[in-house]
Copies of this chain bind each other. A is one copy, B any other.
Amino acid sequence: MRAAINQAKRGRNIGEVPIGCVIVYEGKIIGRGYNKRKKKKTTLAHAEIEAIAKAGKVIKDWRLEDCDIYITLEPCQMCAGAIVQARMRRCIIGCRNPKAGCAGSILNILQNDAFNHQVELTEGVLEEECSAMLTDFFKDLRARNAEIKKAGKTENEERQDL
């Protein structure tokens, strides 16, 4: 999770919502990713999708069986779906996303018996640190936006919702 947090920080350093992810296979990190949605201008650039793309190049198979994914934030519908589709073994999350999380908060896509694969789930790993990164990011963003407004400039619509 420490490596996933480092990825999240790389995102934060370029103004992205700090969410990071690594994929581990046989004790080695084979995929890393951080949120680049603004930079890449596509919703597909979530941390998990970036890491899954990289891991696939290492494993050379669309199936990432026996792989474990560490994510600083509970995955959205798309990313939880990708984790199931890739047949990953285990998902380890830092903090929950009560507004959009799909590892139990809104839905539990990872562990739905109706699908042909279920993913083991561990949560709350370095939870406070993962959560604080997001809280601080949005606090800074609000302060920046308030300053821009105060200065009478046109505010860039950030809409940093996850």
Contact = CB atoms under 8 A, between A and B. Distances in A.
A24 interface: no
Most buried by B among A43, A46, A52, A62: A43
Nearest to A79: B81
B78 A56 contact: no
Contacts of A80: 77, 81
Assign chain A's interface to a size class: 35 or more
Interface of A: 37-38, 40-46, 49, 52-53, 56-57, 60-64, 76-82, 84-86, 99-100, 102, 106-107, 109, 112, 114-116, 161
7 smallest beta-carbon distances between A and B, as pairs: A77-B81, A78-B81, A42-B56, A43-B85, A78-B82, A43-B62, A43-B86
